[in-house]
Amino acid sequence: MTIEIEALPIIHNITLVKGGDWHETINLYEDDRVTPKNTAGYEMEMTILSGPNGETYDFLDTVVNTRITHTPSSGQFNIDLEAAEIEAYDFLTAVRKVILIFDTGDQHMVLIMGQVKVIP
């Protein structure tokens, strides 16, 4: 997935299947849309919520639980959920919000919003 800054947030729904892992890669590029953006000092968070401003079901980030990994030199973020984590979800639908944090934590940009479906 390539993020275009002028078209944010991207609406991107996902489906998680119990019994399997889930992975998403987000690549950030410079304005030329070819050169990978150096994202040294950037962080990313993904929150799964009961609704747009609802109860938090899960929280992933690049700092505390490291379920989001980051390669700054290529502007790449990888979001991973293992089968055991997905198996523990007790909801059928939820909302996710992916936030990019930069400028030493002063700037927060919502990159992705979307629905999360869990299939048993």
- Which tens digits make up the pLDDT trace of 49-75? 998 888 999 999 998 878 999 999 999
- Per residue in 20-48, pLDDT (tens digit) is 999 999 999 988 889 999 999 999 999 99
Query: Which stretches of 1-120 are DSSP H helices?
Result: 83-88
Instruction: With cut-offs at 50, 70 and 90, classify the pLDDT of residue 82.
Output: very high
| 74/60 Cα distance (integer angstroms) | 21
pTM, entire model: 0.88
Write down all domains in the chain, each with its CATH number in brackets. 5-119 (2.60.40.10)
| DSSP-based three-state secondary structure for 87 | helix
